[in-house]
Every structure is written in structure tokens, then in C-alpha cells.
Amino acid sequence: MVEIAVADHGQAAALACRLFVDLFSRKTNAVIGLATGSSPMEIYRMLGELAASNLLPDLSGISAFALDEYVGLPAGHAESYRAVLTREWTARLGLREDQLHVPSGDDSQLESAAKAFETALAGSGGVDLQLLGIGSNGHIAFNEPGGPLSSRTHVTSLSEQTRLDNARFFGSLDEVPARSMTQGLQTILEAERILLLAFGEQKAQAIAGAFEGPITRDLPASVLQTHPNVTVLVDEAAASAFSRLPLNSAKSWPLQDA
Ligand code: F6R
């Protein structure tokens, strides 16, 4: 079931924080699925503030799995997703390094790394709460349009659109890697609960197509329609291409039963 609510960026982050705090309080060994990119960063910042004020439960038993990693960046590159999540998640929440799992982007051993990541994920018991962003072309994680809907963790080529979109994190387009290691769509669908965030007009067509159109490999996010528990938080601009209005307002969103 997909629930869609309109919330501005700050409201969405606050709502997401409540889901996290609720999960951390219920489950000391919670498993979190982390996205990178810009959409979830405010959530990580807010959770970091709660951690700094000692308002979070004991997090020593939780673990987190990243969605993806660029292939071929030098170890420690500031824009590698391991580096980003170490800064934005591990450090802000005061966690140990071994509580974060990121697929390896070392291009000398990609096949075994994909298998090792799937094994670690399965061994964790599975993701309780998966955060997702969406690409302007409808990708989730780095599952680009045209790939199989049944995929598991694998290496993929980034589309030109995705490389252009992500050039803002690098000095120039040339520096954006051409490939990534990404969780597959089937891997993502195994999460217990999914929270997808989309902000800005550039996401409007992808979001509307994903949830109002057919399930198709041309719009990978559309596969989320098959998941039993997806919440989509969109700001007004990202909601602007929906034909089916009104959507829920975040104020009436029933978080109590989260
Ligand atoms: C990042 C990821 C990507 C992003 C997507 C949106 O780990 O998997 O799918 O979520 O590209 O990126 P932003 O949030 O920067 O618009």
C-alpha cells in the first residue's frame, strides 16, 4: 500500500525523525536502510541534534545499510557514499564504524562484493525502515530506467541524466563516476517499511508516473506500488504533476500507528 502526503522539506524531516525515534525505542537492534543524495540530509541533521541532546535511546545495537556506492572513486574520496554516510550518519549519531555497511565500489572485486553485501544484509535480519530518494528519471538507489525489476545488488552504469544531476556534488561532470554498485529493486522491496522523499519540481514527473502510472522498468520507482508499506512525502512542487488530488496533508498523516 502506498500512502502519499504533502509536507515541506522541514516537516518531512521532522515526520521521518519521529518514525526513527519510534523504531529505535521499540527495537534496540533496528536495521536502517540509508539513502544519500540531498533528500535525506535534513533527517540526519535532525537526528544528530537529538543525539547530541541525549534524546535518543541507546543506539549501540542498531545497524545501517547504504543503498549504493560509486564504483572507482579513490578510497576516502569525500563524495564516496561511505564517506558521506560516515559524516552525516555515523558521526552525527555517535555510532561505531562497524554499524554502517556500504557496498564496496572497489572495481577489482565487484562481483564478490555484491554477494558479500547481500549476505550481510540477509544476516542482519532485514531492513526495518528504508529511506529512499528518487532520481529525476525515476531511479531508486542507482537502478536506472530499463533495468530488470527483479534485480539484486549489482553494478550498474549511471545514466547521463543521473551524472548531470549529481555533478553538483563534484567539481565537474567529468569527475562523476560512470558506474555504481547498487542494491537491486528486489533487495529494496524486502524492507519492512519504505519512506520515499521527493522535493522540487524536477521530481514531479517521476513521482506522478511512479505512483499513478503502470509498473514499468522504464520508471524503476513504479515497482514500489507492489510493496505493502510505502510512505511518500513530497513537497508541493514535487506533487505538482499528480492528477489525483487532494493528497493527504502531512498534518493529518496518522503517524500514531507508525
Ligand atoms: C542515493 C540514491 C539516489 C538518490 C536520488 C535522489 O543513495 O540512491 O537514488 O536518492 O538520486 O537524489 P537527491 O536526493 O540528491 O535528489
Q: Using the predicted structure, report yes or no on whether residue 11 has a pLDDT greater than 80.
A: yes
Q: How far apart are CA 188 and CA 182, in angstroms?
A: 10
Q: Using the predicted structure, report yes or no on whether residue 256 has a pLDDT greater than 70.
A: no
Look up the pTM and report it. Answer: 0.94
| Atom nearest to 162 CA in ligand 1 | 11
Contact indicator for 156, 85 with CB cutoff of 8 Å = no
207-248 confidence digits (pLDDT tens): 999 999 999 999 999 999 999 999 999 999 999 999 876 566
Is residue 252 very low, low, confident or very high in pLDDT (cuts 50, 70, 90)? very low
Q: How far apart are CA 63 and CA 61, in angstroms?
A: 7
Pick from 34, 36, 160 the residue to mutate for probing ligand 1's pocket: most ligand atoms within 8 Å of its CB: 36
Ligand 1 touching residue 39 (CB < 6 A): yes
38-69 confidence digits (pLDDT tens): 999 999 999 999 999 999 999 999 999 999 99
Distance of CA 245 to the CA centre of its chain: 26
The set of cell numbers assigned to 205 is: 514527473
Pick from 9, 39, 199, 223 the residue to mutate for probing ligand 1's pocket: most ligand atoms within 8 Å of its CB: 39
Average pLDDT in the 142-169 region? 96
SS3 for 17?
Answer: helix
Of all protein residues, the one whose alpha carbon is nearest to atom 3 of ligand 1 is 141
89-137 confidence digits (pLDDT tens): 999 999 999 999 999 998 889 999 999 999 999 999 999 999 999 999 9
The position carrying cell 505538482 is 240
Query: Mean pLDDT score of the chain, rounded to an integer?
Result: 93
Of all protein residues, the one whose alpha carbon is nearest to atom 9 of ligand 1 is 141
Task: Give the CA distances from residue 21 to residues 50, 140, 191, in Å, rounded to whole numbers and listed in that order.
Answer: 9, 24, 18
Is residue 255 very low, low, confident or very high in pLDDT (cuts 50, 70, 90)? very low
Q: How far apart are CA 36 and CA 86, in angstroms?
A: 11
